[in-house]
Amino acid sequence: MAIMTYRDALNQALREEMLRDENVYLMGEDIGVFEGAYKVTQGLLAEFGEKRVRDTPIAEEGFVGAAIGSAMLGLRPVVEIMTINFSILAMDQIVNNAAKIFYMFGGQCPVPMVIRTPGGGGQQLTAQHSQSLEVWYAHVPGLKVVAPAFPADAKGMLKYAIRQNDPVMFIEHLALYNTRGEVPDGEYLIEFGKAQVVRPGKDLSIFAHSRMTLYALEAAKALEGLGISAEVVDLRSLRPYDLETLVASVKRTNRALYVEEGWGTYGIGAEICAAVTEAAFDYLDAPIGRVAGAEVPMPYSKPLERAAIPSPATIVAKAKQLLNRP
């Protein structure tokens, strides 16, 4: 099993799927000649040519609409939007067309497309380029939304996404592209709707997705030094999500905490906390806690940016509070 970066795992998934199916093609801003703003498409223009790796104008609504049309005609576009913040410009195409066409045409016209886009903060890209907007898309029936945290999941979930007949929002995180991990070779698929227990524990469950899963693992390690055994569950798939695994974790630990980088109000954590409380109320010894981003536009100042994003230390503090530990 090779060790590679999250970026290279995505690149490998794209290449393998393009070799497997000639209907898979890529489009997006600067993905061809420049090989992607984050180099995820490096080498693919040279290998597959301009017909299958298409640079687009800076016109998100236009090229997402073109991708939807080609998907309706049987192709499998993988669209890269340079940042999830730019996806707002294409929201009408994503929400009103991609998500609804299959249902509005009586199930006769699937839209098999993937939109890859990075989100999150921490890079001093300030208020308009540091947002975690995955919850906007997870709110919409007709879309599937995933946010893998590890290189192996990035590969397995992207290959699975490309084979879906539904539109998929594939959310990456800017800070994950250089992270490294073991990635299986060749055919490797991860089904959507399956959370993963990435660290077992018995005193507290910490649920998270994307980069916050890595922070939750750091927090769990620190909590271990305080005599607290924390179980960490990576949600991976936001729509659909795996309620069964979350409830099973609560049954083992009797306390839970959700960690997300985005704003907490109406966030992913709000949905998960409500669903787990309804399903496992009798097993909870305390209300489910939440750690989320500060409810402000992301500041440019580095100290303020750090303060606005949850950290392992804030997770540890909230965990101790839930367990009534000093």
Dihedral pair phi/psi, residue 215, rounded to 5°: -65, -35
Known catalytic residue at 129 = yes
74: closest CA among 112, 114, 22, 25? 112
Q: How many Cα neighbours within 13 Å face the side chain of 106?
A: 0
Residue 285, burial from CB neighbour count under 10 angstroms (0-12, 13-18, 19+): exposed
Listing DSSP states for 9-76 in one string gives HHHHHHHHHHHH-TTEEEEETTSSSS--TTSTTTTHHHHH-TTTEEE--S-HHHHHHHHHHHHHTT-E
At 208, list the tokens.
Answer: 């998270």
Reported as type and span, the H/E element at residue 216 is helix 211-224
* Angle at CA of residue 277, ends 274 and 280, nearest 5°: 145
Q: Out of 60, 172, 231, 305, which one is annotated catalytic? A: 60
Contact residues for 195 (Cβ-Cβ < 8 A; gap 6+): 207, 233, 234, 235, 236, 237, 241, 242, 245, 246
CA 280 to chain centre: 25
* Angle at CA of residue 140, ends 137 and 144, nearest 5°: 70
323: closest CA among 212, 201, 198, 200? 201
Q: Please tell me what DSSP assigns to residue 155.
A: H
Residue 302, burial from CB neighbour count under 10 angstroms (0-12, 13-18, 19+): exposed
Q: Out of 129, 139, 218, 271, which one is annotated catalytic? A: 129
Known catalytic residue at 60 = yes
Q: CA–CA separation, 30 vs 45, rounded Å?
A: 11
Q: Which residues are catalytic?
A: 60, 129
